[in-house]
Amino acid sequence: MHSVTCKRRNRKFVGDIPLMSHTAIDRLVTLFSKLPGIGKKSAGRITYHILDTSPALAQTLAKELMGLHQAIKKCGTCGGFTETDPCYICSDPQRDKSVICIIESAQDLRIIEEGREFKGLYHVLGGLIAPLEGISPANLSIDKLIGRLQSDEVKELILALNPTVEGDTTALYLQKTLKDYPVEITRLASGMPVGGNIEYIDKLTLSRSFRGRVKV
Ligand SMILES: [Zn+2]
């Protein structure tokens, strides 16, 4: 990331993290508090925990973070994060290639995999249609999905999208766009709370949602 100088205060910044004006502890608290789900208080707790623990933890953390973007890529087929391309799911001969589960993010893939119910393949859209945020179908990995449907191996697409306005809009768009393809489109059913998020559903409910999926 480029460092820039703030003319008004003449301080150096990386992104919006001030480099010169705070102590190392303040900088780390600010950095941690930028992570999802971590407020200033938790960020402070994490920082002091790292300080109180042996330097090995900080060193291992730093090493893993430094190499993260080099080690992890996106699978050229499904879009999930992987160290090999294609990923271990796309290249696993035991997986059911006739079913593709369509998800918003690579994180959803991990959550569904942990449920151990689904044995097919995945397709990560990389977001949901949200006109107000400027996210249109062109920003999502839909062309790639259509490319995967050219092979007649795929018989069913399961829309595992969050039941939110954006999830519904995206599901509807996919139904319309893919209606001429010889695939059955289903959607996760029972147990998905309206406005809820796959991230917060327990494994049993998620597994029931897969079994009880409905044709759309
Ligand atoms: Zn893959």
Identify the H or E element spanning 146: helix 142-149
Tens digits of per-residue pLDDT, 153-177? 999 999 999 888 999 999 999 999 9
Q: Which domains does the chain have, with CATH numbers?
A: 3-71 (1.10.8.420), 81-215 (3.40.1360.10)
pLDDT at residue 3 greater than cutoff 50: no
The pLDDT, as a whole number, for residue 214 is: 81
- Note the pTM of the prediction, 2 decimals: 0.77
Beta bridge partners of 13: 4, 18
Q: What span, in angstroms and rounded, lies between the C-alpha atoms of 66 and 81?
A: 17
Give residue 76 CA to ligand 1 midpoint distance, Å: 7
pLDDT at residue 143 greater than cutoff 50: yes
Query: 192 falls in which pLDDT band (50, 70, 90)?
Result: low
The pLDDT, as a whole number, for residue 205 is: 77
The pLDDT, as a whole number, for residue 5 is: 47
Give residue 61 CA to ligand 1 midpoint distance, Å: 27
Strand extents, DSSP E, 3-77: 3-6, 11-14, 17-18, 73-74
Tens digits of per-residue pLDDT, 60-78? 999 999 999 999 999 999 9
Give residue 210 CA to ligand 1 midpoint distance, Å: 20
2-6, 38-42, 79-83, 156-160: segment of lowest average pLDDT: 2-6
Query: 18 falls in which pLDDT band (50, 70, 90)?
Result: low
Tokens 């991230």 identify what position?
199
Query: 121 falls in which pLDDT band (50, 70, 90)?
Result: very high
Give residue 198 CA to ligand 1 midpoint distance, Å: 20
Within 8 A by CB and 6+ apart from 11, the residues are 5, 18, 19, 20, 21
DSSP-derived letter for residue 126 is S
The pLDDT, as a whole number, for residue 116 is: 86
Give residue 124 CA to ligand 1 midpoint distance, Å: 9
The pLDDT, as a whole number, for residue 21 is: 53
Query: 15 falls in which pLDDT band (50, 70, 90)?
Result: low
The pLDDT, as a whole number, for residue 194 is: 57
Give residue 186 CA to ligand 1 midpoint distance, Å: 21
Tokens 């949602």 identify what position?
209
- How much is the mean pLDDT over the chain? 87
47-51, 92-96, 161-165, 169-173: segment of lowest average pLDDT: 161-165
Give the mean model confidence (pLDDT) for residues 132-140: 95
Give residue 74 CA to ligand 1 midpoint distance, Å: 8
Give residue 180 CA to ligand 1 midpoint distance, Å: 25
Identify the H or E element spanning 123: strand 120-124
Give residue 113 CA to ligand 1 midpoint distance, Å: 13
DSSP-derived letter for residue 158 is E
Give the mean model confidence (pLDDT) for residues 39-66: 95
Give residue 88 CA to ligand 1 midpoint distance, Å: 7
